[in-house]
């Protein structure tokens, strides 16, 4: 395979995560052509130099690489198939799905892309809105190793921890492991801070003590502080974590693996979503304990 230099990038999805990633790519000198279902959510990016395209297919046309960061597996399937990206990408182009999606769908995209001489990677991320904005995401890559290596300069603009995990679907499986770890951890963070509050402690001082010890985690230090401030704005939506948890539960079941912590987290978050919190950040799990 002859490596193709990447200069023009089609990017589909200008939401909380995609917006920061696009800005960093523009700053790095790449030419961006973007699409989002709601154009108004891309107006600021257009003003900053990104070219608007009217569909995922049009965003793929003329691009050396196409990056997708959308909501759900059904959205991923729609934009890649259904006369979408795969049918309109340039010969030899790189297709990078950074959505957290189904490992099985990642394998399907890889095969369909290969049949057309395209090179697909699944490269989901972790790090939330802060990581996307700061270019410090953790990126988990599945697909052909030589393709991952070729695209390293692009990934390095968006992330700090970039790890090739294995064949197609491996990036998504790794992200499922990440989400399983987060699921139970978020319960622990919310319960710990709720306990401290109910014990009449200064929760900021409690945070200072426990975040650097064995209990320390990204979720505690970053989302725990948002909980204490009553900041429940989405860095990562509850509705999207529920989606991820359900993918992980399905994959775990297929492997014969019991994941009770993951199941409990999905139950709690689903209850919050039913109470109207689906568009809140995942740290809104703290509200469950504030009401008790």
CA 79 to chain centre: 17
Q: Are 35 and 59 in contact (CB under 8 A)?
A: yes
d(CA 185, CA 43): 36
Q: Are 128 and 136 in contact (CB under 8 A)?
A: no
DSSP code of residue 291: T
Q: Are 89 and 62 in contact (CB under 8 A)?
A: no
Of 19, 53, 175, 239, the catalytic one is: 175
Q: What angle do CA 237, 242, 245 make, to 5 degrees?
A: 125
Number of other residues whose CB lies within 10 A of the CB of residue 198: 10
Residue 151: φ, ψ to 5°: -90, 5
d(CA 36, CA 11): 9
Q: Are 69 and 47 in contact (CB under 8 A)?
A: no
Please say if 133 is a catalytic residue. no
Q: Which of 138, 145, 135 is nearest to 175 (CA)?
A: 138
Up-side HSE of residue 12: CA atoms within 13 Å toward CB?
31
Partners of 280 in beta bridges? none
The tokens describing 30, both together, are 């790449």
What residues are annotated to the active site?
A: 175
């Amino acid at each position: 395979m002859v490596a193709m230099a990447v200069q023009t990038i089609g990017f589909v999805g200008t939401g909380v995560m995609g917006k920061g990633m696009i800005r960093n790519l523009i700053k790095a000198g790449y030419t961006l052509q973007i699409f989002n279902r709601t154009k108004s959510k891309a107006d600021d990016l257009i003003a900053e130099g990104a070219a608007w395209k009217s569909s995922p297919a049009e965003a793929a046309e003329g691009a050396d690489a196409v990056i997708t960061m959308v909501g759900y597996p059904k959205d991923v399937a729609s934009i890649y198939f259904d006369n979408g990206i795969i049918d309109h990408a340039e010969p030899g182009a790189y297709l990078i799905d950074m959505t957290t999606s189904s490992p099985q769908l990642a394998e399907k995209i890889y095969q369909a892309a290969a049949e057309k001489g395209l090179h697909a990677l699944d490269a989901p991320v972790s790090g939330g809105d802060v990581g996307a904005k700061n270019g410090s995401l953790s990126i988990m890559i599945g697909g052909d190793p030589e393709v991952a290596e070729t695209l390293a300069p692009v990934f390095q603009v968006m992330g700090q921890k970039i790890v090739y995990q294995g064949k197609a679907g491996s990036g998504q499986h790794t992200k499922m492991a990440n989400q399983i770890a987060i699921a139970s951890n978020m319960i622990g963070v919310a319960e710990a801070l709720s306990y401290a509050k109910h014990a009449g402690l200064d929760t900021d001082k409690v945070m200072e003590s426990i975040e650097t010890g064995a209990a320390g985690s990204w979720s505690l230090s970053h989302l725990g502080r948002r909980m204490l401030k009553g900041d429940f704005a989405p860095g990562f939506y509850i509705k999207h974590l529920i989606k991820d948890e359900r993918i992980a539960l399905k994959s775990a079941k297929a492997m014969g693996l019991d994941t009770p912590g993951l199941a409990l987290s999905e139950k709690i978050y689903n209850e919050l979503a039913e109470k109207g919190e689906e568009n809140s950040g995942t740290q809104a799990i703290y509200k469950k304990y504030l009401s008790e």
